[in-house]
Amino acid sequence: MAARRQVASVCVRPCDVELARTLLAGSGVLVGTVAGFPHGDTRTTVKAAETRELVEAGADEIDMVLHIGRLRSGDTAYVHDIAAVVAAAQGHVVKVILENAYLSDEQKITGCRLTEKAGAHFVKTSTGFAPGGATLTDIRLMRAAVSSHIEVKAAGGVHSLDTLLTLHQAGATRFGATATAAILDDFAARGRGEQPPARATASGEGY
């Protein structure tokens, strides 16, 4: 489905990177996976080692979870484990999941700024495992907290085209969704062309 619909990427479990790479060969669809998932509480060295191994296995993009507990406690020095993952990714795209459902607005802004400072490419709202996912308020907040060369990914709760378009207008450029086919079918049915204004990531449940 992902290859046929030409989505941006497929996000899979770390153990499935090689399989996804084989199945998507020649399609132009990227293989994404996760590091430090889902709570971000593995040690920095483990996150970096996991990232290196996943890139060697064929992952094009790494969605890492920052250390949520350390961010909540104000330990921003520890949250710089983002930089270790960026270095281990060797130039591959790194998206940093904040898990906004557990953060105050101030903590979300801090997480966004730490992400940009560390050299990552995206800030992302959610893992899909927390009580809440992407919201319009959070997308606006995150977009305002980083410079224009950092992109915003909305994940969790993106179940319809209307939601996707609303979040896109607020500044999101990537969308993690399990309802990818339904969203793209709706887009085609509305007669607006073959591709939506921003690209989706087809995800396994919770990714």
The C-alpha atoms of residue 199 and residue 183 are separated, in whole angstroms, by 11
Which of these is catalytic: 63, 81, 108, 138? 63
Which of these is catalytic: 47, 95, 108, 153? 153
User: Is 95 annotated in the active site?
Assistant: no
Which of these is catalytic: 47, 108, 124, 138? 124
> Which residues are tagged catalytic?
63, 124, 153
